[in-house]
Structure 1
Amino acid sequence: MESVAPTLIELGRELVKEFLYILPYLAAGVLLEAVIRTFRWHVKIRHALTRFGTWSIVVATLLGVISPLCACATLPLVISLMLAGLPLAPAMSLLVTSPLMSPASYSMLSGMLGIGWASTVTVCAVLLGLFAGLVTHLLRDRGFREDELFRKALPQGDFHDPDYPVEELRCECGKQLSHRVNRCTHNKFLVFLARFWEGSLKIGRFALIGMVIEVLAEFFIPNQWLTALLAGEGVMPILAITFATIPLHLPQVTAASMIFGFFLPDPGQTIPLANGPGIAMLVGGPVTALPVMGIFLSMFKKRVFFLYLALCISGTLTLAFAWRWLGG
């Protein structure tokens, strides 16, 4: 019992030190996302997607990169757009890029792993979004037309309606603090403060989960194991990380936080993060979000789910091996 207390104190000290280090980047990213959500810029662009024609894949990819919404929040909105006429190809691009990058993700990746890694993940998100959209577009006439996607016809109605019959798609945003503040006051500044608070709780929670995992791993897992996995230059680390993260719910901020303490000289032990494993973790982990795959299985025909999974895995592996080759 005497040896447990010092260990817990040391764990807590490391956790606080790392959290304070990333706090300014967390605040900057959440601030930008709060501005975007307050003025609903991403919503205005998203509703215009159905009018962009063949350019919708590019627009959806770029929208996914700047959107503050995670994959779980994006999927119901994408389905509503598909019911309004959006083809599967741009919908797939949006779904793939949304979990990979956002203003908060870029800010926190810059703070935790450096601007180089933040920019690399952004480029990977764009490439993966374009790849997913293009492949889906080429397969459109092979069982992926708009009338061949859903397991059953979805009832008409507004997903924001609390009485919408499909529970998986029913939006709970009306219960959020920012929406209650907007209904009561219609004051943009107060809505912004509420958005900032919501974003701080959501993103801070994901960051804290990743740092707790990293601190525990640093204390209890032999360092050489982690070094072999994150700094390994062979094929196996890339394959191991890519397939190990498929069943995990691993948001971008959580994935970066898990690497953070090992990567930076201060405040963790330095592990030179290799290009391939880094991409496998930061791209492959977030893009195969388990809740999203669950909705895919329940809402869409199986071939749509397997297409999404195949695009995510093949895209991640291609990017990881390409970055490993480019990085020497």
Structure 2
Amino acid sequence: MTNATNVPPRPGASVWRFIQEQRVWLASAAILLLLVIFDPAQSAESAVFAAAALAHTAPYLLFSIAVAAWAGATGADNLVAKAFTGKPLLMIALGALAGGLSPFCSCGVIPLIAALLAMGVPLSAVMAFWLASPIMDPSMFFLTAGVLGIEFAVAKTAAAVGLGLFGGLVVHLLNQGGALQDALRDGVGNGGCGGAKMRAPKPVVWRFWTEAERRAKFAGTAWTTTLFLAKWLLLAFILESLMLAWIPAETVTSALGGEGLLPIITATLVGVPAYLNGYAALPLVGGLIEQGMAPGAGLAFLVAGGVTSIPAAMAVWALARPQVFALYLGLSLTGAFSVGLLFQLWHAV
């Protein structure tokens, strides 16, 4: 019998393997190439938009990449992972609060999420932070208060924390029931090296640069993390530029007028696929509320659109398996509708 290791690769296998490994980079290149052919002006605008967005996100990326590489090289990721063990409900609460009050945007939180998952932090706590973070931050709070009023700003903050708690608890219960045991993609978090580190912790070496192996670990982690984040963010920003260019914000928000339950449902469903920049959406929603749109519909739209923005949603897709991505969208829909309905009932009292 012929040994399987001696069987020559099939023709085209190496090409197919290359396509599979580089499919995200190739997708970005294909989109830009098609734009160059069919819409040259938009190709330039999308390229500039993506470059500017990456530059804006760079400080978050560099800091988080450095932290992840340092944690891996020193072994400090063991300490972080151990801090999240044995206290799932407390970690969910802390994750939701940190997400709702942190200054991270939906783009800046991606490398932090990747680092937490790589350290073996439970998915329930990470999901709580993941859901809450894109909705509100300190600058967004003050801008929301100025445009829509302090009541709306407080409601949006409460919605962020509440959605984080809701999502974290759902993931925790699913884990308790045996689901989502293999929720992350290979090599990420509990599905890869993170879980092993928690099971077999090693001593922390703070002065990692004194050992060649740890210096190599630092460089290797920094490089692979940079490539991973860069390819997904580039594709996300290109797609975001196309949505902003081809789906005007006014067209999206004009469909959300009216009173009753239907506008809240519509706002939730429209907010999921139609991402609006959180700052740009505020005056548009404010104008519609002045024209009679239900406040609950406005809040549902802002929450659903924030959680499922292209960068945030693609981060989930890149790091987690499809079932977790579907759960993320389901939690976003349910949570956005619930907070919109509760806010509308509050106004009706």
The answer to whether the Cα contact below 8 Å between 1:70 and 1:98 also exists between their aligned partners in 2 is: yes
The answer to whether the Cα contact below 8 Å between 1:249 and 1:289 also exists between their aligned partners in 2 is: yes
The equivalent residue for 1:9 is none
Letter in 2 for 1:247: P
TM-score, normalised relative to structure 1? 0.62
Describe the shift of the 1:149–1:261 C-alpha distance in structure 2 as closer, same or farther (beyond 3 A).
same
The answer to whether the Cα contact below 8 Å between 1:158 and 1:164 also exists between their aligned partners in 2 is: no
1:290 CA displacement: 1.8
| Cα distance per residue 1:177-235 (max 9 Å; x no partner) | xxxxxxxxxxxxxxxxxxxxxxxxxxxxx9xx8xxx67xx4xxx8xxx94x833x2222
Q: Distance in 1 between matches of 2:155 and 2:165?
A: 16
1:73 CA displacement: 1.9
Describe the shift of the 1:50–1:277 C-alpha distance in structure 2 as closer, same or farther (beyond 3 A).
farther
Q: Distance in 1 between matches of 2:103 and 2:224?
A: 25
| Cα distance per residue 1:78-108 (max 9 Å; x no partner) | 1211221210111011111111110000010
Matching residue within 249, 262, 268 for 1:236: 262
2:285 paired with 1:259: yes
The answer to whether the Cα contact below 8 Å between 2:260 and 2:294 also exists between their aligned partners in 1 is: no
2:143 paired with 1:117: no
Q: Distance in 2 between matches of 1:153 and 1:62?
A: 28
Q: Distance in 1 between matches of 2:99 and 2:219?
A: 20
Describe the shift of the 1:131–1:254 C-alpha distance in structure 2 as closer, same or farther (beyond 3 A).
same
The equivalent residue for 1:312 is 332
Q: Structure 2 matches for 1:1-328, cutoff 5 A?
A: 51=83, 53-54=87-88, 55-141=90-176, 142-145=178-181, 148-154=182-188, 163-164=223-224, 167-170=227-230, 217=250, 226=254, 229-230=256-257, 232-263=258-289, 270-328=290-348
Q: Distance in 1 between matches of 2:132 and 2:263?
A: 24
The answer to whether the Cα contact below 8 Å between 2:270 and 2:301 also exists between their aligned partners in 1 is: no
| Cα distance per residue 1:241-263 (max 9 Å; x no partner) | 21112122334323213223445
Letter in 2 for 1:116: E
Q: Distance in 1 between matches of 2:317 and 2:263?
A: 29
Identity %: 30
Count residues in correspondence.
235
Q: Distance in 1 between matches of 2:292 and 2:220?
A: 46
1:291 CA displacement: 2.3
Letter in 2 for 1:51: A
Any stretches of 5+ residues in structure 2 without a counterpart? Answer: 1-63, 68-76, 194-216, 233-240
Q: Distance in 2 between matches of 1:49 and 1:59?
A: 15
Q: Distance in 1 between matches of 2:259 and 2:272?
A: 21
Q: Distance in 2 between matches of 1:250 and 1:321?
A: 21
Q: Which runs of 4+ in 1 moved over 4 A?
A: 46-50, 154-162
Q: Distance in 1 between matches of 2:220 and 2:341?
A: 42
Letter in 2 for 1:152: D
Q: Distance in 2 between matches of 1:300 and 1:159?
A: 25
1:158 CA displacement: 5.9
Letter in 2 for 1:327: H
| Cα distance per residue 1:124-152 (max 9 Å; x no partner) | 1111111011111001143323xx12232
Q: Distance in 2 between matches of 1:294 and 1:170?
A: 12
| Cα distance per residue 1:11-30 (max 9 Å; x no partner) | xxxxxxxxxxxxxxxxxxxx
| Cα distance per residue 1:23-68 (max 9 Å; x no partner) | xxxxxxxxxxxxxxxxx9xx9xx99686252311111111112211
Q: Distance in 2 between matches of 1:81 and 1:259?
A: 34
Q: Distance in 2 between matches of 1:160 and 1:132?
A: 33
1:162 CA displacement: 5.6
